[in-house]
Each structure stands twice: as C-alpha cells, then as structure tokens.
C-alpha cells in the first residue's frame, strides 16, 4: 500500500477559495454602500420634513431644506449621484420624498456596472400650538 502525499493541497485550496472570498467581499461592499446611502437619505428626508413643519414659512423652509439635503447627501458623489426631490405640503402636514441614484461601479473591488435607486419618504405634522 502506497501512501498519498498531501503536498501542494493547500496551494490548490487557496487558488480555489481566493476568488470566492474576493467575490464575497465585493458583495459586502456593494450592500454596505447601498445600506449606508439608504440610511443617509432617510435621515435627510426626516430632517427636511421636520425643518419645514417647524418653520413659520413652509415655502421658504422648503427651499432651504432642499439645499440642506443636497449638502447633507453630498450630491454628485458615488453614494448619491443624482437627487430627486418631491414635496407635498398640506394644511396638516409636510411630506418629503427623496430619491438618490447610488453608483455601484465604484463600490466594489471588481468592476460592477450599474446603479441602484434609493428612496425615502418622511411625513411630519405641523405643530399649530407652537409659540410664535
């Protein structure tokens, strides 16, 4: 009975597992960028709606909130290439909907084409009993 040698088996295993590990890391980075962008846009939508409802002049506050959202989300960066802004102001509340296009091509170690749209909506009620 001859004994088989295990020499070189670690090199073969590494050659097989390294690409699989790299793909897994790339997917984690893609999901991380998407979820980070989603959290940022939700926070920006909430802050914009809250700012509008606390203001004495909702129309002026809407313009200021829009500019603040652009700065906060760093529009033009890979985490938010373009920003969509939709505002609905009624007598009772203000609803802000933000949509960002997240560029996935710069998020991974391997080239990944495409982008994903991330959307957040926040509604805040006007405080009619505030001092002022």
What does the domain layout of the chain look like in residue ranges? 11-125
Whole-angstrom distance, CA of residue 77 vs CA of residue 22: 25
Instruction: With a cut of 50, list the residues of the chain below it in pLDDT.
Output: none
For residue 107, the model assigns a pLDDT of 64
Question: How far is residue 62 from each of residues 21, 35, 110, measured CA to CA in Å?
Answer: 46, 26, 40
For residue 43, the model assigns a pLDDT of 94
Whole-angstrom distance, CA of residue 101 vs CA of residue 32: 15
Contacts of 81 (CB under 8 A, 6+ apart): 75, 100, 101, 102, 103, 115
For residue 19, the model assigns a pLDDT of 86
For residue 116, the model assigns a pLDDT of 87
């Amino acid at each position: 009975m001859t004994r088989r040698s295990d020499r070189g088996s670690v090199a073969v295993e590494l050659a097989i597992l390294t690409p699989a590990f790299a793909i897994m890391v790339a997917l984690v980075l893609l999901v991380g960028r998407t979820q980070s962008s989603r959290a940022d846009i939700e926070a920006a939508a909430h802050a914009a709606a809250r700012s509008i409802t606390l203001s004495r002049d909702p129309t002026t506050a809407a313009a200021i909130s829009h500019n603040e959202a652009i700065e906060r989300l760093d529009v033009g960066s890979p985490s938010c290439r373009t920003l969509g802004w939709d505002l609905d102001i009624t007598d009772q509340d203000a609803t802000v909907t933000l949509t960002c296009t997240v560029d996935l091509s710069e998020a991974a170690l391997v080239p990944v084409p495409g982008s994903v749209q991330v959307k957040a909506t926040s509604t805040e009620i006007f405080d009619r009993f505030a001092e002022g």
